[in-house]
Amino acid sequence: MLALASLLALALTFVSPAAAFIECSVLDYGAVADNTTDLGPALTKAWEQCVIPQVTTTVADNVLLYVPAGNYLLASTVTFNGAANWNLHIAGDIFLPFNPSLTGTMLTFENCQNILLNGPGSIFGNGYRYRPGGDLTLYPSRPRLIRFQDCNDCEITAVTLYDAPQFHVTIIGNNNEAHDMAIIASHIGETDGFDMSGNNNYVHDVSVENGDEVGFFAVSDTIVNVLQCVTVKTPTNGFVAERITCKWTAGCNIGSFGDTNTAVNVQNVVYSDVTISNSDAGIMIKAYPDNIGTVKNITYNNFQMSAAAYPLYISAFWAGNGVDTGKLSISDVTFNTITGTGTPTRPAVLLDCNKATPCENIKFNGVSLTDTKANSFTNACGSGVTGIPAC
């Protein structure tokens, strides 16, 4: 029996151990949870000296860059460039200072693959300090919170973001996911929730509250300084958003795409199961008149709206000089089961498209919106609502 036991013990020594879990705590690299010491250098040092040397697997959460419970000050921007397969786990609360010279993005992941950013911690942007009295022009270069730039197969979840000085989350790349998290901002302006571009990205089970309607419409009724909830930018081919809650926002948008002949390619987008309340808009596709390219195969399913200005809005003249170049094609847009209320001064459906390239095949199924003005159709054709010409 003893010999058998010895043989078994010897055999076990040759079995490969399970992949080791490695924790790189910022507290070991100079961080102090005193809301005074800048967390930025400790994040960079922990990443360079602990995370990068030990990332050897394809599992994102085997190597943990860890921000433990406590209050931290993030007074400088941090860029994680080029690494893959690790997890930034924020258990504490991170606060931005008010610093007029602070600009850029506070946490940037660049040229990355398979990164997990999760909570249960929070980031407090203190954005109201950068927009005193609602003045959005005083600090135009104020910082953003989080950016994934040219990143694939990444995930952000379970972290709560409060009041970014500017936009909250930007994700550019393919096969990325944002889910099960909240964004809450003061009602001032220019604090988008999720801005997404790339192929096959997925946003689900998120809530965004980032502004209100007061002051965000000029006398001409041109929409400015809106605060988008979950937004698709160009280029995108394949995007899904579902189970989204938008409060005091500008709703779920495609665009805008910028000025100066921006080339647009957005296709195969689906939004489903969205609740929008007390918002500048519900669903928007918005462009500049000198944009060129294609927006095609867009589907909106099961939206519930309450007091949403411009509930269904497509315009090639959202901003810019208004000259009709006719170079942007918008087609095959379907609205399924859109119910609730708008606002009495604006139409439930507003389509304002290029004369040379009218919006084509715009379909409305089960649209029931009350407390609105009469619908408005310009250079658009489709089916399902009274007054729109057939294609």
List, for residues 109-166, the tens digit of each pLDDT value: 999 999 999 999 999 999 999 988 888 899 999 999 999 999 999 999 999 999 999 9
Main-chain dihedrals φ then ψ at residue 179, nearest 5 degrees: -160, 160
Residue 61's pLDDT is 66
Q: Are residues 237 and 186 in the same domain?
A: no
**3-state DSSP assignment of residue 3:** helix
Residues linked to residue 369 through DSSP beta bridges, in sequence order: 340
Look up tokens 């399924």; give the residue: 336
Residue 3 domain flag = no
C-alpha separations of 82 from 44, 114, 152, 196, 264 in Å? 13, 11, 11, 20, 28
Decide if pLDDT at 8 tops 90. no
**Same domain, residue pair 185 and 59:** yes
pLDDT 10s digits, 155-212: 999 999 999 999 999 999 999 999 999 999 988 878 899 999 999 999 999 999 987 4
| Within-domain flag for 267 | yes
The span from the CA of 378 to the CA of 223, in Å, is 18
Q: What's 290's domain CATH number?
A: 2.160.20.10
Say if 68 falls within a structural domain.
yes
pTM of the model: 0.91
Domain count for the chain, please give it: 2
Report the alpha-carbon distance of residue 289 to residue 57 in Å, rounded.
Answer: 48
Looking at every residue in the chain, the average pLDDT score rounds to: 90
pLDDT of 10 reads: 37
What is the torsional sign of CA 253, 168, 249, 262? negative
Do 148 and 245 share a structural domain?
Answer: no
Tell me: do 47 and 152 sit in the same domain. yes
| Element spanning 240, H or E | strand 230-247
- Give the integer Cα–Cα distance in Å for 32 and 65: 15
In a domain, 171, yes or no: yes
pLDDT band at 100 (very low <50, low <70, confident <90, very high): very high
SS (H, E, C) 345-368: CCECEEEECCCCCCEEEEEEEEEE
pLDDT band at 323 (very low <50, low <70, confident <90, very high): confident
Contact 227, 280 (CB under 8 A): yes
Is 214:193 a contact under the CB 8 Å cutoff? no
72 located within any domain? yes
Residue 149 falls inside a structural domain: yes
Please indicate, yes or no, whether residues 36 and 155 belong to a single structural domain of this protein: yes
Q: Are residues 230 and 313 in the same domain?
A: yes
81 lies in the same domain as 171: yes
One domain, residues 233 and 187: no
Lowest mean pLDDT of 48-52, 224-228, 312-316, 324-328, name the range: 224-228
Residue 93 covered by a domain: yes
Residue 157 within a domain: yes
247 vs 282: CA distance, rounded Å: 10
Looking at the structure, do residues 169 and 53 belong to the same domain, yes or no? Answer: yes
Q: Give yes or no: residues 242 and 183 share one domain.
A: no
170 & 260 share domain: no
Residue 179 domain boundaries: 21-191
Residue 108 has pLDDT above 70, yes or no: yes
Integer CA distances (angstroms), 138 to 130, 180, 193, 225, in order: 8, 34, 21, 14
Query: Which of 2-6, 327-331, 383-387 has the least mean pLDDT?
Result: 2-6
279 and 163 inside one domain: no
How many helices (DSSP H) and strands (DSSP E) are in the chain? 3, 26
